[in-house]
A and B are shown apart, each in its own frame.
Chain A
Amino acid sequence: MSGQGTEFLRFTGHRSFAHRLVLSTLTGRPVHISKIRSSSPTHPGLAPHEVSFLRLLEAVTNGSSMEISYSGTTITYHPGLITGTVAGAGATWTGDVIEHVIPANCNRGITYFLLPLALLAPFSKSHMNVRFSGPGVITSATATGDPSVDTFRTAVLPLYNLFGIPAVRIELRVLSRSCAGPGGRGGGGVVELRFASQVRLPKTLHLNRRPGRVRRIRGVAYCTGVSASNNARMIHAAREVLNPLVPDIHVAAQYDQAPLVQVGTDKNQKKRTGIGFGLSLVAESSATGVLYSADEVSPPQGGVVPEDIGKRCAYQLLEVISQGGCVTGLSAPTVLTLMAMGSEDVGRLRLGRDVVGREETIGLARDLKTFKASTWGIRDADEDDSGDVIISVKGTGVGNVGRKTA
């Protein structure tokens, strides 16, 4: 492949690694990423979660090839076709799902994999059914900044509706919950993503109106392996903060046993891991598709009372709401990427100033430009003094290669 004079898009650094690979796969352009943590004295090269993500990409595509240098600091990636779950290809088989095992030394939450995978899934040839299992699946939020599966399900997946990708056919099953294990590494969760809404070309969206008012707050409090009363304490503390503002608050409580994880190679030796508790809150606005989310989890080393977690989560939610805009920093990459990959229309998105003013957003704009997506048009939202910024994105009409003839 490389002998034919293919042009690599060159990147450096480990930032937005997964997202660059997703863009590469969507646009079909090979990438060359160098200097991946090359200055790190202790952990140079690719991290476990990044290697695992590469394996996942290999499983859901056909014809991808990648070369990682000996030190792991340089990688070239030739994207293949996004096939999804097709008979005869993919990783381990159990029915109609691809099973993806995440190693025990992974310190990122499962949403690190779910967010990019959900970006690929609408462009897949057939359904994208992936089950994440193994000793590294952390379904809770993590100290590394990943949201919990509950936030992903309630605050990110509904956004796909706006692009003409029916969210009712996207299912996220949490078969077993787990917080991060000792040292923030590993867990024992099992999560299954069934993404059955493949489209030819996602529509663009216009979220340039005012973001509406927050009408209700939903949430999930989860405990794994600790007393279920922690749920009530977290919910109580969060309500203390939020009740004066919104009367309509419902937080579900989810209690699970800590999952069993195999120790070493011995089948019979197992230990319980992933003990902890956390809270995920989602605020729904009166405008359609405007969702704000917050996540907070107990640190793996413990030492935080549930009241604090509940309060912090509520404060974080207030902060995210006050940042304004129609999309939060968490879901902005997803929305902006789908707009850029979608139909060749101009879509508009209203973002809070602090959401635009994140390094990730700037990096995303540059990455998209490198992948030959059109640059963003940026202007102030003039109709009020919120300081929001309206970004207009012209789609590239990449769409679904596998469904071009259909």
Chain B
Amino acid sequence: AKALHGKRRPFRAADLARFMYDDSLAPRDALKKWRGEDDEEEEQEENIEDEDDDGFFRKVNEDTVDDIESEDRPIPRFDYEDLAAKWSQEDSIETLRTRFATANLLDEQEG
């Protein structure tokens, strides 16, 4: 039972409400916490600060480069290789079929 309690269940709505309005968290980190992926990554972030900047030329660390690249995107980037792999499988198509009008309504109770 303790093992279950030790790790928070990800994707809980109550958690999201807490992280969403916590301004000390960047949106990305808030989402990571919500998904429950925050455990190992925090130590790595500390390391970036440790490197001392020598002289005039500062090293642009990965985070800032990422920020410049990240313009507003109404349509997010998709990895089409992954998508093609995912949607060519019979299973995922069948799972999605319940969302379509062609699904067999008799198999399930709600319509």
List A contacts of B83 (CB < 8 A). 312, 315-316, 318-319
Residue on A nearest B111 in the bound complex, by CB: A213
* A233 interfacial contact with B, CB 8 Å: no
Residues of B within 8 A of A115 (CB): 74
Contact A145 B73 (CB under 8 A): yes
Q: A51–B95 Cα gap in the complex (Å)?
A: 45
Interface of B is mostly: helix
Residue ID in chain A nearest B31 by CB atoms: A357
Given contacts A145-B75, A362-B20, A377-B17, 16 further A-B pairs with CB under 8 A are: A47-B71, A144-B71, A145-B71, A145-B76, A213-B103, A246-B102, A315-B87, A318-B96, A319-B78, A321-B96, A321-B99, A362-B19, A365-B21, A366-B27, A378-B16, A387-B11
Query: Are B100 and A312 in contact, with the CB atoms below 8 A?
Result: no
Q: How many A-B residue pairs have CB under 8 A?
A: 133
Interface of B toward A, CB cutoff 8 Å: 11-14, 16-17, 19-21, 23, 27-28, 30-31, 34-35, 60, 64, 67-68, 70-78, 80, 83-84, 86-87, 92-93, 95-103, 110
Q: A16-B72, A145-B75, A389-B16 are in contact. Are A214 and B84 (CB under 8 A)?
A: no
Closest 8 CB pairs of A and B: A145-B73, A362-B27, A315-B83, A359-B27, A213-B101, A378-B17, A215-B101, A380-B13
Q: Residues of A at under 8 Å CB distance from B? A: 13-19, 37, 39-41, 43, 47, 111, 115, 141, 144-147, 210-211, 213-215, 241, 244-247, 286, 295, 311-312, 315-316, 318-319, 321-322, 324, 329-330, 353, 356-360, 362-363, 365-366, 369, 375-380, 384, 387, 389
Query: Is B16 within 8 A of A356, CB to CB?
Result: yes
In the complex, residue of chain B having the shortest beta-carbon distance to the beta carbon of A246: B100
Residues of B within 8 A of A357 (CB): 31, 34-35
Given contacts A39-B60, A213-B101, A362-B30, whether A330 and B21 have CB atoms under 8 Å apart is no
Chain A residues near B87: list those with CB within 8 A: 241, 315, 318-319
Residues in A with CB closer than 8 Å to B28 are: 359
Cβ–Cβ contact A247 & B102, under 8 A? yes
